[in-house]
Amino acid sequence: MDSTQTFQVFNRGPTPAARLVFFTVLSLLLMFVDAKYRYLESTRSALSVLVSPVQRLATLPGDVWREASDFLVRQETLLDENRALHRQHEKDASKLVQWQSLQLENQQLRNLMDMQKRNQFTVQFVKIAYAERDIFRRKVLINKGSTDNIQAGQVVMDDKGIVGQITRVYPWLSEVTLITEKDHAVPVQVQRSGLRSVAFGAGDTSQLSLRYMPVSADILKGDVLVTSGIDGIYPAGIPVAQVEKIERDAAYPFARIVCLPLGGVDKHRFLMVLSSLPKLPERPPEEPVNAKPKGKKTGGHG
Amino acid sequence: MNSGDHSQAVIMRPVSNLFIASSMIGALLLNALPWEGVWLTLRPDFVAVVLLYWCTHKPLRVGVGLAWAIGILADVNDASLFGQHGLSYTVLAFGGVVLSRRLRMFDLREQTTQVFLILLLTYLIYAMVHWQVNGHMTWGYFLGCLTSTLLWIPISALFKSMRQMRVDRE
């Protein structure tokens, strides 16, 4: 094989060792800058334009397969699905009428009490382009980006509950960090007792945990946790998780509480992005006392 | 010792830059496929194996610098920290270039054990960076190192036959 190589006696440039040192230092520098500051996002999105054809090509077979199976579905299945959806729609419609009147009532009450109105949010529908590529992280990429006015910090949910938060935006894609990502925090409230807490992602398992809850806390297995809306990122009242297991050990000051997310964090293909961002700056002065520390506030906001 | 190069009667033609580039893009593509769950854990790092192949077989053309550049693209592709793949591929390429003469003297089976060590180092660096930044570790990640090593044999055989085919055609 050597015979094919051009034989250079002179000037091969720096030795491999010198190059190793140079590029190692460069990489370390880049990592430091990328981890500490967010200067490199524009470079990243510029390079992503270079890489995105490869990514599109890679997801093409799956998309084609799905399209084909969509096309070849039996009429009977479609009819069944249609019937089920109609039934669901009727059920939901009756609830919706009730909800609308409740909302009006709530607003009136809030006006009477001189409280701030609840945020209204608009919804953008998105599709998951690809799931977690990096084994260490709980992330998905969705098919809309800055060209569709997606911004970092927006909340992503499905029909059952919160799924995650947008952490990085490319021109045609955005990255969603799932709530199960290690140390990702969501301020929550126990729906039954109104108890506030913060739900942290547990990392590689699809679980959430409540930390720093006293052993005597009023929380039961099966309790539903909803967002408390305190951080100004997640709008209040959206379901997050259900308590799965509580370990109360007197030896430790805090109870160990494990929850399972209600949203199909790693199931669905279609998600919703909530855009309630413009109203955020008004919130902080209203509730300064309740501000809870967020473990990892990856998304820029406001 | 069975030295692979001398037992071959076929002369290999020079590798075109296009072949190297397309193999790299192909590897990036394979890495970018929507792997999920167990398959993601078992996914070999195609880019690393292909890069190592070229570093050992064409050390004068594919070296540390190119490996770093590919690593940066892989970082964008995986949405990992900028320079994380860059650093690990830099070390991979250095290992490949330094050991290139020695590796080419061995046959495939003996190469594999040495390739395993280089890949293990590469994986270790990537995981160390992750551990330093995020403070936790996913041990299943190292399974990918084993599958990548297993991939070395088919990739070597494939590229060798592709390079020989070019001779037969003319």
* Chosen from A27, A43, A169 to mutate, greatest number of chain B CBs within 10 A: A27
Q: Which residues of chain B have a CB within 8 Å of the CB of A12?
A: 60
- Best of A3, A7, A8, A23 to substitute, by most chain B Cβ atoms within 10 angstroms, is A23
Predicted local distance difference test score (pLDDT) of residue A132: 62
Range with top average pLDDT, A70-74, A82-86, A225-229: A82-86
Q: Of A98-107, A292-301, B75-84, B132-141, give the lowest mean pLDDT range.
A: A292-301
pLDDT, residue A119, reads 56
Res B165: pLDDT: 66
Residue A245's pLDDT is 86
* Band of residue A301 on the pLDDT scale cut at 50, 70, 90: very low
pLDDT of residue A298: 45
Average pLDDT of chain B, as a whole number = 84
Per mean pLDDT, which range of A53-67, A150-164, A180-194 is the poorest? A53-67
How confident is the model at residue B87, as a pLDDT? Answer: 93
pLDDT, one tens digit per residue, over B96-115 is 999 888 888 888 888 899 99
CA distance B158 to chain A (A): 15
Partners of B79 on chain A (C-beta within 8 Å) are 133-134, 137, 139, 141, 168, 175
Evaluate if residue B6 carries a pLDDT over 90. Answer: no
**Contacts of residue B60 in chain A, CB cutoff 8 Å?**
5-6, 8, 12
**Which residue in this structure is represented by tokens 């660096």?**
B125
Shortest CA gap A265–chain B (Å) = 13
**Whether the predicted pLDDT of A236 surpasses 60:** yes
Say which residue the tokens 């494990």 belong to. A258
Q: Which residue has the higher pLDDT, A300 or A131?
A: A131
Mean pLDDT across B8-13: 61
Q: How far is CA B15 from CA B12, B92, B130, in A?
A: 8, 21, 36
Give percent above pLDDT 90 in chain A: 7
Q: Write phi, then psi, for A177 (nearest 5 degrees).
A: -85, 125
Check residue A234 and report its DSSP letter: S
- Residues 6 or more apart from B129 whose CB is under 8 A from it? A31, B81, B84, B87, B88
Lowest mean pLDDT among A97-111, A122-136, B35-49: A122-136
Round to whole Å and give the CA distance between B41 and B37.
7
Judge: B68–A26 Cβ closer than 8 Å, yes or no.
yes
Residue pair A180/A219 in contact by the 8 Å Cβ criterion: no
SS3 percent helix, strand, coil of chain A, rounded to 5, is 35, 25, 40
Q: Are A176 and B130 in contact (CB under 8 A)?
A: no
